[in-house]
Every structure is written in C-alpha cells, then in structure tokens.
Amino acid sequence: MDAPTTMSADDGTSGGGPGGGNGWFTARAGLPGPLAGEAARPPGPDVREPAAAGGREGAASPDARLVRRTLDEIAPVADKVTSYFYALLFTRHPELRCLFPVAMDTQRDRLLRALLTAAEHLDEPEVLTDYLGRLGRGHRKYGTRAAYYPAVGEALIGALIRYARRTWDDATEAAWVRTYTTISQIMIDAAADDERRAPAWWHAEVVGHERRTPDVAVVTVRPDQPYPFLAGQYTTLETPWWPRIWRHYSFASAPRPDGLLTFHVKAVPAGWVSNALVHRARPGDTLRLGPPAGSMTVDHTTDSGLLCLGGGTGIAPIKALVEDVAEHGERRPVEVFYGARTDHDLYDIDTLLRLRRSHPWLEVRAVVDGRTQLPDAVREYGPWNEYDAYLSGPLGMIRSGVDALRGVGVPSDRIRHDSLEELVAAAG
C-alpha cells in the first residue's frame, strides 16, 4: 500500500469476508482474521503504492468497485465496525478468543487495514498473492487453522451488513463473498505450504542482554532450531510476560555462523513488550519468534552503492546490511547516516566506527538533532543517483527521508524501507 518503495507488511491482519452466515465461505473463505496481537512495524508483503484513485477506479473490475464502495461507506465508522466484528466473532465462537491477546488494543485497527489492502489490490493478483501469502504464513504462529476462516468471514460480513447499509445489496454481498473466498484461500494455501517447510514459531533463549542507554537494550537470543533469514529483514517476537502480543524487531546482524540473533530494543512509554525486553528480560528467559519477513535486503546482483539512513534503533537493520555487504566481499560504496536525538543516543556508534576501520568502502556519519535532522544531512553530500537507498527509523524520518531522497534525484524504485503502515503500529 505504499509506494514503489520496498515495504513489508507482515501484519497479521486480514479482513474480509463475506459472510452473512449464508454458508458462503464454508468451503474456503475467511479472511484471516487478525488472529493475534501483533503490532505492526516492519513490513510483510511488499506492497506497492496504489495508483491514483481516479485511474484505479476506471480500470477496476466490478467486484473491486463494489468492495471499494463498501469500504468507502464504512471508513468513517471504522472503529465501530472493528468493535462489532470482534463482538460477533467472540460471541458466536468463544473458542477463538484465546487466540487473541487479553487486551485487544493494538489489534483493533488491523482488520480494517487488511480489508483496505485486499480491496486496493483485488485486481492485482500478484500483489494480492504476495501480501496474503505472507499474512497466511505469519498467522501460523497465532495457531490459526483453516477451519477458523469461515467464522471470521461470517463475522466480517455481519459487520459490513450492519455498517454499510446504504450501499449493501445482493451484488455487493456476492462480490464480498468472492473476495473473501479468494483472500482466505490464498492465506490457507500459503500456510499449508509453509507448514511443510518451517515451524510456525521458534523458541529462542536469551543469551545476552546489554543495556546501552537507560532505554535501549541489545538482546541476543539462541533459537532452538536453525533460523534462516536475510540481513535487512525483521521478525516478530513474543515475550513470556505478555502472551500473544507480538512486536516487530529487525535483525541487528547478518546471519552468523553460531546462529545467534540480535535485536535492538528501545523501551517506549506504555510499550509492554519493549519494556519487558529492556527492563525484565535476562539470560535464560525464553522468547518466541515468528518467521522472518521484509524485503529491505541487499541486491547482490548489482554493484550499486548503498545509501543508508538509520534513525535511533532503526540503525539495527542498517548494521546488518553493512555486515552483509562485507561478508559478500564486495567493494561497493556504503554510506551510513546515523541519526539520533543526542550524542548519548548514538548507542551503537562504536560498532559502526569499528566496521568503518575494517572496511575502506564504508563511510559512517553521525547526525545529532540540532540545526538539521537526519534526512536533511543527505542533501549536503552526494550525488546519490548511482545509489540504492535504505531507510530505517521512526515514521517521520522515513517520510521526510523519502522526500529528501526523491528531491535529490534518487528514483522511487531505488528507495527501500519497511512498511509505513507497520511502522505506525510498531511501538510497544
């Protein structure tokens, strides 16, 4: 849903379905219900920026138009639709309640976002398959089963019928049934396929916990079985203290021979998981990890330079990318801009400077908030037209960073970052 930039969207959402209790989806349907408390951050499927609204509507299929009409009607009451959807789901199927976190706060808007995603891409099978496939695989860790999808679909349709009264008719209902059936089947198939290859989750023991600032910890874990991933990706993580609440964290290192994984965690106000990881987790504790996701990875088929902007703990995947380039023995230029609010917040600068000493192709520049902010700094250097750009950090930094990069001539298809949608929900 966002630009041609790279995004991920493993959000556990989904939306969808028809329902109505007519047995439509009995065979397959089901929007994946956001069966879990995952705050989004980084990203899942690479979602592309939607085309301009006018153009999209013009070329839309009849189903896509009907689905979009419903979405437009419910948009102003999204909160009510979401509440009603869960009320229906849990009333009719109390056995599904245990799949969700006790507190549903972070879960609440995920369904609507998934609906929008599905609607936006209904006519783009490739994007839809990629996005929903990722959702389907990502839902395995919640204990989602194919048999749950009809219940989710029925609740969804029930909620739509109630809140899209003005535009709801037989044709609309039929369009939603088809849409939901498609969506759920893609997710079910992707999950079944993934089951043959990978566990639904990994247990991981904390083996290192280092406080770098009062709020930031570097946490190292040992998964109970091999955990394949690529530098630049992220995972979801659940602590024993907040069951079924999952948060996204990027891998802070490229894959290591000893199989250990490292994360940079900043405790944010009211962030249950982040506070537990920074202030409570100790070596010996066991966490759970979901599958790796995200496509902010290095293309090793080219020798373009890498322009990397890392803000705060967003430096974690940037460091992994630098290690990845180093391990591939490439001598392509890598320019890292590391932004922080104060000198003290540059908690990983020593590591980056150490890497710079070993690798002549690497340049590292610290940008502490003051006269300029991180995105402005790239304008003072360059030219960047031969570089692939990678951004990681707070949402505002990504947004202004993308603007700054486009402004200095970096094409959109060479700018990569995790999904903005996920970043919005990342905290916690």
Ligand X SMILES: NC(=O)C1=CN([C@@H]2O[C@H](COP(=O)(O)OP(=O)(O)OC[C@H]3O[C@@H](n4cnc5c(N)ncnc54)[C@H](O)[C@@H]3O)[C@@H](O)[C@H]2O)C=CC1
User: How many of the other CB atoms lie within 10 Å of CB of 172?
Assistant: 21
Q: Minimum Å distance from CB 411 to ligand X? A: 21
**At a CB cut-off of 8 Å and minimum separation 6, what does 100 contact?**
35, 36, 37, 107, 244
- With respect to ligand X, which residue has the nearer C-beta, 231 or 316? 316
- Binding residues (CB under 6 A) for ligand X: these are 41, 249-250, 264, 266, 311-314, 316-317, 339-341, 345, 367, 369, 373-375, 392-394, 396-397, 400, 423, 426
Is the Cβ of residue 133 or residue 317 nearer to ligand X in the bound state?
317
For ligand X, the closer CB: 66 or 374: 374
Residue with tokens 């405790």: 267
Question: In 3D, which of 269, 332, 266 has the Cα closest to residue 304?
Answer: 332
CA distances, 133 to each of 125, 196, 371, 383 (Å):
11, 15, 44, 38
CA torsion 12-15-20-22 (nearest 10°) is: -70
Least CB distance to ligand X at residue 94 (A): 34
Sequence-ordered list of residues with C-beta below 8 angstroms from that of 226, at least 6 positions apart, any chain: 259
The CA distance from 142 to 98, in Å, is: 10
Least distance between ligand X and beta carbon 392 (Å) = 4
- The distance between the two most distant Cα atoms of the chain, rounded to a whole number of Å, is 67
Closest CB 78 distance from ligand X, rounded Å: 23
Cα–Cα distance, 169 to 186 (Å, whole number) = 26
Q: Identify which of residues 71 and 334 has a Cβ nearer to ligand X in the complex.
A: 334
Is the Cβ of residue 160 or residue 346 nearer to ligand X in the bound state?
Answer: 346
User: Could you please report the per-residue DSSP string of 12-73?
Assistant: --------TTSSGGGSS-------SEE---S-SS--PPPPPHHHHHHH--HHHHHHHHHHHH
Report in angstroms how near the CB of residue 13 gets to ligand X at its nearest: 18
Rounded to a whole number of angstroms, the minimum distance from the CB of residue 377 to ligand X is 8
Residue nearest to ligand X (CB): 312
R_g over Cα of the chain: 22
Beta strands 37-38 and 245-250: pairing type?
Answer: parallel
Q: Could you tell me if residue 57 is left (phi over 0), alpha (psi between -120 and 50 degrees) or otherwise beta?
A: alpha
Q: Judge whether 195 and 260 are in contact, CB under 8 Å.
A: no
- Rounded to the nearest 10 degrees, the angle between the axes of helix 149-163 and helix 78-92 is 140
Nearer to ligand X, 370 or 383 (CB): 370
Smallest gap from residue 347 Cβ to ligand X (A): 9
Backbone angles phi and psi of 263, in degrees to 5: -130, 145
Least distance (Å) between residue 299 CB and ligand X? 19
Cβ closest to ligand X, residue 78 vs residue 320: 320
- Give min distance, CB of 266 to ligand X, in A: 5
Query: With respect to ligand X, which residue has the nearer C-beta, 66 or 216?
Result: 216
Cβ proximity to ligand X: between 114 and 367 the closer is: 367
